[in-house]
Amino acid sequence: MTEYSAGLEALENRIAKDLTLLELPAKPWVPKRIEREQAVIDVIFVGAGMCGLAGAARLKLSGVDNIALFDAAPAGKEGPWETFARMQTLRSPKTLAGPCLGIPSLTFRAFFEARWGEGAFERMDKIPKGIWMDYLRWYRKVLALPVTNDTRVTQVAAARDGLIAVTLEHDSRSRVEYCRHLVLATGRSGLGGGATPAFLQGIDRKFWAHSADHIDFATLKGKKVVVIGAGASAMDNAATALEAGAGALEMLIRRKDMPRINKMTGIGSQGVVHGMRYLPDRWKYRFNDYVNSQQVPPPSSSTRRVTQHKNARIFLGCPVESVTQQGDRLVLTTPVAKFDADFVIAATGFRNDFIGRDEFSDFAPHIRTWKDGIFEPSMGTPRPFMLDAPYLGDAFQFLEKEEGSCPMLEKIHCFNDAAMLSHGKLSGDIPAISAGADRLTRGIAAKLFAEDVETHFAGLQAYDVPELRGDEWVDATPSLLETAK
């Protein structure tokens, strides 16, 4: 047996022991249901990246084990780490507990040290993204989470008796699964995917891509590439293009100076994790508005990864005003100058809407957002992606724009980056994902229990396993009465 397998096997044995010490997983307690002669799934997760895995794991450990996760990606390719996450290392500190759910042996550190030792962990600066993905694959395996890959959700519709009908497509064949709760664990892309600037709409897609798209960087060798944006994603995409042999690369940045301070890092605390949700709406908006006005700087390592190339140039104070196609090139107009490019990468963030998401068309128009009577001008800048964010309930569930218009929404949970304005960063980033999974589980478990309260009460009445047999004592009352005669 190799040192690697021995270390990991020992860790997995330790996890098994730790779970028994914590009496986990709890015994299953949710009554089974049947719909159209098939078993109803209590909770379906759309997405099996970090958020989906953490949420499903917490539910399973809490005795809600009739769950399923469906992901469109092949096995082991879930989430951004093998696709559009083009950084070399994670930006989060290596010591973060992440999705361990309060179990030390489930942390990334425990996993890493089991494979390479404590010394290697001490020497490591930041976590290589490939090793982080290895950890998530192992996390799924060691907790035996029921993930089905290569499966896409094509429709979500209300069914009878409060159930949700989820249409799934696999190998060009469709089937319907029924569930009681649906969790959208769709990660950074949230609800709508990449945000396309107006100046790129109508431009042939062979000339440009969003930073979250699949990009064949090999085709950019020798080409002139323009990257729009100044965030971490912009830097990572620019560096990847340069490393693939781009002939020249120019970054067009709207701001006149680069953001340098990550404001939220400075106030990170358990108070923020647990308290942001319960602030008045004006304070939630104010926090997020201020952070967005200051912007989050790209990591120093990502920036240097770009600037070490002599054929890379950064232009500040150059917001793109328009883009036109001239022959086989694009021309980008800014207040300072015009820039031409063979290919443009738009690192312009993500949007909060359901445009183009046909699978959600049955309920999307009914979702209450921050612009539906929540936002007031006194809260701050009316930023479209914030106003379009869903206004969520305590368990990340969608709320109705008009009461009674779509009862199904209370059973659909937005456990992804789009929840940040309502809940803080509990369902998109590594630091507080365990707290987010716990909040999600508490809400779903409470709802499941309340819905089946009559069944649980009947179970209470029917329970008849005695703890006393009747021969453990002698009733002295008769002797007392005899003496009193």
* CB of 437 closer than 8 Å to CB of 389: no
Q: Tens digit of pLDDT for each residue in 312-368? A: 999 999 999 999 999 999 999 999 999 999 999 999 988 887 766 888 999 999 999
Asked whether the predicted pLDDT for residue 279 surpasses 80, the reply is yes
Q: What ranges in 317-392 are assigned the alpha helix state H?
A: 384-387
Three-state DSSP class for residue 168: strand
Tell me: pLDDT of 1 over 50: no
Q: What is the pLDDT of residue 192?
A: 74
Residue 178: CB atoms within 10 A of its CB come to 20
- Cβ 176 vs Cβ 165: under 8 Å: yes
Separation between Cα atoms, residue 231 and residue 389, nearest integer Å: 21
Residue 21: both structure tokens together? 């010490």
Which secondary-structure segment (H or E) carries 39? strand 38-39
What DSSP state is assigned to residue 296? P
SS (H, E, C) 208-248: EEECCCCCCHHHHECCEEEEECCCHHHHHHHHHHHHCCECE
Tokens read off for 105: 């042996």
| Distance from C-alpha of 399 to C-alpha of 321, rounded to nearest angstrom | 37
194-198: average pLDDT: 89
Distance CA 23, CA 298 (A): 43
Under a CB-based contact definition with an 8 Å cutoff, are residues 158 and 164 in contact? yes
What value does the mean pLDDT take over residues 173-181? 97
Q: How many CB atoms lie within 10 A of CB 312?
A: 20
Helix then strand then coil, in percent of the chain rounded to 5, is 40, 20, 40
Cα 358 to Cα 370: distance, rounded to the nearest angstrom: 22
- Encode pLDDT of 39-59 as tens digits: 999 999 999 999 999 999 999
Say whether 68 sits in a helix, a strand or coil: strand
Q: Which two tokens stand for residue 52?
A: 């989906």
Q: Which of 157, 144, 179, 120 is nearest to 53 (CA)?
A: 144
Q: What is the pTM of this model?
A: 0.94
The three-class DSSP label of residue 126 is coil
Confidence of residue 6 (pLDDT cuts 50, 70, 90): confident
| Cβ proximity of 51 and 427 under 8 Å | yes
Q: Taking all residues of the chain, what is their mean pLDDT, rounded to a whole number?
A: 95
Cα separation, 407 vs 314, in Å, equals: 50
Question: Phi, psi (5° rounding) for residue 208?
Answer: -155, 165
Q: What is the pLDDT of residues 29-43, one digit of tens each?
A: 999 999 999 999 999
User: How far apart, in whole angstroms, are the C-alpha atoms of residue 214 and residue 77?
Assistant: 13
**Of 56, 78, 75, which Cα lies nearest the Cα of 65?**
56
Please say if the pLDDT value at position 128 is more than 50.
yes
- Sign of the C-alpha dihedral, residues 265, 266, 267, 269? positive
- Which residue would you say has higher pLDDT here, 372 or 263? 372
pLDDT tens sequence across 399-455: 999 999 999 999 999 999 999 999 999 998 899 999 999 999 999 999 999 999 999
Confidence of residue 3 (pLDDT cuts 50, 70, 90): low
Q: How many CA atoms lie within 13 A of 455 on its CB side?
A: 10
Q: How confident is the model at residue 141 (pLDDT cuts 50, 70, 90)?
A: very high
pLDDT for res 187: 87
Name the β-bridge partners of 316: 253
